[in-house]
Amino acid sequence: MADVATGTTLAARTQALTGRVRAAGRLAWATWRSILGADRYDRYLAHHRVAHPDVEPMGEKEFWREHYRSLDRDPGARCC
């Protein structure tokens, strides 16, 4: 049924709302991954493609091993 004032149908409004909810969900998920640091490997790959295109990047397991080794070597602001 069309809304006479706006000329839109309920289905069109529902579809638009669904799209906005999905976009908000994707943004929330990406933000959560960033806060937790789960996107570090993805960011490493993006950087590596630009800065070192001729060198094979580390695999994900190797990346995380090296990441945690570097934290142990230089704890920075950690208390322990």
Tokens of 48: 């590596």
User: What is the mean pLDDT for each group of 10 consecutive residues in the chain (80 residues)?
Assistant: 68 91 90 83 95 96 93 74
Per domain, the residue ranges of the chain are: 1-36, 39-75
Q: Is the distance from CB of 2 to CB of 8 less than 8 angstroms?
A: yes
Q: Specify the pLDDT at position 1.
A: 52
User: How many CB atoms lie under 10 A from the CB of residue 12?
Assistant: 13
Look up the pTM and report it.
0.58
